[in-house]
Structure 1
Amino acid sequence: MMRIAVIGAGAIGGNLARKLSAAGHDVEVAVARGPEAVPGDVLEFGARAATPAAAVQDKDVIILSIPFGKVPELADLLASVPGETVVIDTSNYYPHLNRHIEAVDDGQVESLWVTELLGRPVVTAWNAALAGTQQTKGVPAGTPGRIAIPVAADSDEARRVAMRLVDDTGFDPFDAGALADSWRQQPGTPAYCTELTLEDLGPALAASDRAEAPRTRDRLMERFAALTSTPTLEEVVEINRSAHR
């Protein structure tokens, strides 16, 4: 059992809180508006609502599941957290959803920007799977066709911890190496939200094109925006896959 804080209770953060508490971990969930704003269904398997300041105390793992551009706002909250605490970031950079970040637009790797602004290393995990995938397609280890999720970190120990938690949420963890290579699992790449197995994820990460990924990301967003009806999860995955054929 690990002591885990989840900051954010949206589609991904709330799902992680449910799954990790159901797996037997001690989970506290916090949102900026206070404990009373944490949805009740997020707590159904034993997770508890807390303030952000209380949630990050005495934890083995802190999962940040808030919009990418807001992650650096947690620097003060994390300042007193011991260095050995594993901090996992699940966010992705979508300029049209938040704001343009010049350093990232100019080529800084998203995870390294987060690390720099937070003043501490992070693990990048659960960012390369759609919320619907995470909510509905987790299965026990050993199940044929189990979807894999890449995990990147500069610390081997932190990566190992995050990979164990990915497994606990129903997906095969894939060791994606250091943060400098985490761009390979960001939006617009073949590994991003394409529901690949462990066997297929490695080649997809290797096939990523760093210069092309932002352009592909933006083309895909334009394509989704042009749809006249809400696509199913399967349709979203297929559109993502088709961008790399």
Structure 2
Amino acid sequence: MIQVSNLGKNYGRDRSVLTNISFTLVKGEFVYVTGTSGSGKSTLLRLLYGAERPVTGKIAINGINVCRCNSFALAQLRRKLGLVFQDFKLLPERNIFENVALPLEIQGKGQGEINKRVLQSLNYVGLEHKMRTLPQQLSAGEQQRVAIARALIVDPVVLLADEPTGNIDPEHMAGILELFKGANARGTTILMATHDYSILRRSPRRTLHLVNGQLDNDISLETILQTERAHVGN
């Protein structure tokens, strides 16, 4: 489903962000990417959906070589992906209902189906009562929940989530994780970047850990914590 081979990314000549990253996710997996701020988590996700190009290596999603896609092919691929961004990427001139409906409109769905699915999605994240509200009138946590509803509404083949619980209060965090688990149970492959290790304790899963742009595969939570303590100590 997702194959990454020898991936490298630099910014300028001297700043290496990712080095020799290789991993595979099979269909239906739910995997975490962890690491401290600046370890390369967000860059890795941006490379996966084609927002940036690697210096070296190959990325394949569902058999498609992302690195060789032109803008049209990338747009077609992204229709099959769910993307949750740290900065939400909500359209400020559209209300919450319209933001969540956008992926369905792009797919050409009828208004009846759009209405039903948007209301259902907003109900899942507890925001159906704010569907006519503009994004800037919501808290950061509420905007994040809208972004999650938008990403999941199309039942994506792959969900790439960048710190999806970073702005979520504890009251709603468990519910968001349950939404992701539900999507995963329906067949969505999920790669979720996080530095919140309480999530790993709550719901342990295969974890890819980034340290200084390099990957530690299938690492235990205790080893992650030991690595982070050593990294901070240095």
Q: TM-score, normalised by structure 2?
A: 0.32
Structure exhibiting the larger radius of gyration computed from Cα positions: 2
Higher-strand-fraction structure = 2
Q: Which protein has greater RCO, CA pairs closer than 8 Å, 6+ apart?
A: 2
